[in-house]
Amino acid sequence: MAKDNKKNRSAIIVTSVVIALIIVVGITSNQRENLHFIEKWLGNVITPIQKSTTTGINFVRDAVNPVVNYSRIKRENDGLRSEVEDLREQIIKARLERDELEELRSLSYALNYVPKEENYRHIAANIVSKNPGNWFDTFVIDIGEENGVKLDSVVVSSNGLVGRVFEVGGNWSKVISIIDNNSSVSFQIMRNKNFKGIITGSVNYELSGYLFDPLAEVIVGDKLLTSGLGIYPSGILIGEVIEVSRTTDQLLKTITVEPSVNFKRLNKVLVYIPLN
């Protein structure tokens, strides 16, 4: 009898904890303004340890990588060399355009045109650790409240849009990347900025989305930029269209996009912090 009671007791405890957890999941499933101090504390303790681990790993990787991947690096080098040639030509063109722009700017100043202010300040951050769960794409960076990071600050890398800050701790923050299935970004097509739409992440490292205008012409290879609607400022590169499809049962044009950022090899990001 006593044994039976004991057996039941642990079952009851587990059941009540399960119910409590389900309620907690329900409450916290939306984005929260502030973290509980225990959460912040855990991150403040764990993140520095993980940071030093990551630094060590990156050091070893940078040392070993050139030896192991010699042929690939050589190939890459050749590719880069021809790209440099192309870019040099483009620089000359850009320089000419810049001179023209400067002239126009001075003209607009003369005409008392009010320039648009830059509302962001940016800080570089290191990625400390990534979500090991395989189903969600979040990661932790090494700056937080102490550095002025705010909720929904936009995170970019040198190649394009990475994601947004989801939760902020003391010296760390949690970033949700654009390929996570809980993230959606409004975009415009670089070639023709009138064509806009929305892309969302999915469970298999892909971005997919649709265009608002079913007649919009979009082709494979089109580059996508953020449109400026929502929290992301406009003009950040998102990726390239790799597939355009139109199913019969829906009137929208759906596209599959390859992000311009390589999320697997990412370890440094830039955080745009809104000034007010």
Partner 1 sequence: MGTILAWLIVLLNFILQGTLFQYFSIFGVVPNTTLVIIVCFALFSDKNKGAIYGFVIGIMHDMLYGQALGVYALIYMLTGYFIGLINRKVFKDNLIISFFITAIATFFYILVNITLIYVLRHDIALSDLPILSIIIQVLYNSIISIFVYLYVFKLYKKRILKF
Given 4, 88, 93, 133, the residue binding partner 1 (CB under 8 A): 133
Residue 46 makes contact with partner 1 by CB under 8 A: yes
- Of 145, 148, 151, 182, the one binding partner 1 (CB under 8 A) is 182
Nearer to partner 1, 106 or 181 (CB): 181
Distances (CA, A) of 149 to 138, 165, 173, 270: 17, 8, 8, 11
Region class of 220: left (phi > 0), else alpha (psi between -120 and 50), else beta:
beta
CB under 8 A: which stretch of 73-81, 151-159, 174-182, 215-223 binds partner 1?
174-182
Taking CB under 8 A as the rule, does residue 203 contact partner 1?
yes
Binding of partner 1 at residue 254 (CB under 8 A)? Answer: no
Q: Where are the alpha helices (DSSP H) in 69-137?
A: 70-110
Residue 163 makes contact with partner 1 by CB under 8 A:
no
224: which strand partners? 189, 239
> Residue 273, interface with partner 1 (CB under 8 A)?
no
Residue from 135, 194, 215, 247 that binds partner 1 (CB under 8 A)?
A: 135
Cα–Cα distance, 170 to 149 (Å, whole number): 10
The whole-angstrom distance between residue 111's C-alpha and the CA centroid of its chain comes to 39
Distance separating alpha carbons of residues 61 and 73, to the nearest angstrom? 14
Q: Which of the 8 DSSP states describes residue 117? A: P
Write out the binding residues for partner 1, residues 68-127 only, by CB under 8 A: none
Query: Residue 155's CB: how many other CB atoms inside 10 A?
Result: 27
Give Cα 63 to chain centroid, integer Å. Answer: 28
Residue 71 amino acid letter: S
162 near partner 1, rule: CB under 8 A: no
With CB under 8 A as the contact rule, the residue among 71, 77, 134, 194 that binds partner 1 is 134
The SS3 call for residue 244 is strand
Q: Which residues bind partner 1 (CB under 8 A)?
A: 10, 14, 17-18, 21-22, 24-25, 28-29, 38-39, 42-43, 46, 49-50, 53-54, 57, 61, 128-136, 138-140, 166, 174, 176, 181-182, 200, 202-205, 264
